[in-house]
Structures are given as C-alpha cells and as structure tokens.
Chains A and B, each alone.
Chain A
C-alpha cells in the first residue's frame, strides 16, 4: 500500500533550469494538490485538481504548471527555477474534494534547492 509517492526526495537546480516533481497515488483519489512548506510560513497551496483533466490555482501558483492526464498522477513543473522556489514540496490527495470525512493523505515531500 504505497499511498502518495513523490519523487525525487531531494533536488538541486541552478537558476533558470526546469524540472518536474512527480506525484503518484494508488488510492483512486479524485482530489490531488501541491503545497510548498517554508520556514515560518506553514503550508501554502500551489495548485490542485478535482479530477483528471481539471486543475485550478491555489494561493501561490506563479512559476508552476500542473496537468492531470490520469487519476493517479499529478506532476508539478517548474519552467524556469528561481531561488525563491527553494522549499519543501508536498503532494496530497483525498477521495473527493470537499468531503470533510475524507482527509488529505500526504507524500513524504521533495526538498528542492535552487542556487
């Protein structure tokens, strides 16, 4: 029972490079989301998806793109990395958006450093 799997665990990028953070879940969850965690800031929502083919912006979407071609996968793309994107990124999923009794399941995070 893998749950939510994020890869890679660690990544170092140079300013201007691009990369994709992978997120996959095997629980048939409709809802998937990306958060970034910064010291003293808590977690902030970047993008989310309520199902395949549907995505929407969260609090801090600038500099990030997402797509949801399958129920299982929700990759996060950084098109041109900036030092301000240095953070820990978490993917989270749940059965249905808005179901209070359907808690978010989090991956173990990707620690990204942009130099």
Chain B
C-alpha cells in the first residue's frame, strides 16, 4: 500500500546551519507530495507541495524536489532559524483523493541560537 518514510528524529541544529530531512515514498501511479509543519501547541500547516515529477515546491526558504526516479521528496533549507523549530511531516496523496492523505511519522527539528 501507499506509505511515507521519514528520517528518524530528533534533529538538532545550530542557527544558520543547513537542513535536510529525508522523505521517501511508496505509491502506485503518480502521487502528489506535501510537507506539513506543526509548531508547538498547534495543528499542522501546509509548508509546500509538488504535484508531478521534477516539480520543486518552495516556501519560507524551504525547498523540496519531487524525484520519481528515487521516490523521494527531501526537505531542505540553507540556513535555519530558531523559529523553524517544529515537527515536519511528509505526506502523499495518490490520485485526487485527499481523504487518503498518508503522513510520515514526523521529524522533530530543534534549532539552537
């Protein structure tokens, strides 16, 4: 079945460090891919998305490229800030059924000043 695998956390970085959070997926067909972010005490918010192979989603300095050949959608940011501390979730939806949005387990990121 469809699934998403994220790198285990927690990830701890110093401010201005480079961030990579790995995400790989298993799905038939051509899924759409998402990154959601959850700040402490809040619900999830959509960070970025990509709907077809080689698309690059970007927002708030974060980027992720849909790589069909490696079934990956790794999240990157060149210089993290303390305010980026949150839990990041990779997710996919196959076809057009948002009701079947599959989430990864989440990766906790802590950024120290």
Contacts from A to B (Cβ < 8 Å): 4, 31, 33, 35, 40-45, 48, 50, 56, 58, 90, 92, 94, 97-100, 102-104, 106-109
Q: Are A108 and B43 in contact (CB under 8 A)?
A: yes
Known: A48-B99, A98-B98. A92 touches B51 (CB 8 A): no
Known: A43-B44, A100-B93, A108-B41. A31 touches B99 (CB 8 A): yes
Contacts of B105 in A (CB 8 A): 40-42
Q: Count of A-B contacts with CB under 8 A?
A: 65
CA of A104 to CA of B105, assembled, Å: 18
Q: Are A90 and B98 in contact (CB under 8 A)?
A: no
Contacts of A58 in B (CB 8 A): 99-100
24 contacts between A and B (CB under 8 A): A31-B98, A31-B99, A33-B99, A40-B105, A42-B89, A42-B103, A45-B100, A48-B99, A58-B99, A58-B100, A92-B43, A92-B44, A97-B96, A97-B98, A98-B95, A98-B96, A99-B98, A100-B93, A100-B98, A103-B34, A104-B98, A108-B43, A109-B42, A109-B43
